[in-house]
């Protein structure tokens, strides 16, 4: 009988602990999508203009796409996490992979062309996107 009481007491305690976990509010999730994701999801000129973007042909394939302006354009940065679009080298001359360099947030969601993307203040080199 004592063994049954101990088992029931242990189970009750376990259930009580679980109910406390579920009653707590979950952390708020960041539902704001990145600016580049938003721009890529826009498929027509009217929707692009409604978001304040520019509808244009871009890249080697000259496909229509929506280009959105970043509100943090030109801001000093060391990593993509600090920017709405990306953190790129302020000066693309004399890029040395692994060396700390100055970065700035990209001005728009248009990432075609050659850029040195920064991660923790460093770049691996220049990446060209057509």
Q: What is the pTM of this model?
A: 0.71
Cα angle, residue 118 at apex, residues 115 and 119 outer, rounded to 5°: 150
Q: Looking at the predicted structure, is the pLDDT value of residue 8 above 60?
A: no
Give the pLDDT of residue 124. Answer: 87
Instruction: Indicate the DSSP class of residue 71.
Output: T
pLDDT tens-digit profile of 14-57? 444 444 444 444 444 444 578 999 999 999 999 999 999 999 99
Is residue 100 helix, strand or coil? strand
Question: What is the 3-class SS of 12-50, one letter each residue?
Answer: HHHHHHHHHHHHCCCCCCCCCCCHHHHHHHCCCHHHHHH
Cα angle, residue 96 at apex, residues 127 and 87 outer, rounded to 5°: 50
């Amino acid at each position: 009988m004592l063994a049954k009481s101990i088992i029931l007491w242990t189970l009750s305690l376990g259930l009580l602990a679980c109910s406390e976990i579920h009653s707590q509010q979950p952390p708020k999730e960041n539902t704001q999508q990145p600016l580049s994701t938003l721009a890529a999801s826009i498929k027509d000129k009217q929707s692009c203009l409604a978001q304040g973007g520019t509808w244009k042909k871009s890249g080697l394939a000259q496909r229509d796409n929506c280009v959105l302006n970043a509100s943090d354009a030109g801001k000093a940065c060391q990593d993509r996490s600090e920017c709405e679009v990306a953190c790129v080298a302020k000066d693309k001359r004399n890029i040395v992979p692994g060396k700390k360099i100055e970065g700035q947030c990209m001005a728009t969601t248009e990432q075609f062309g050659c850029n040195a993307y920064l991660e923790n203040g460093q770049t691996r080199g220049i990446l060209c996107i057509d």
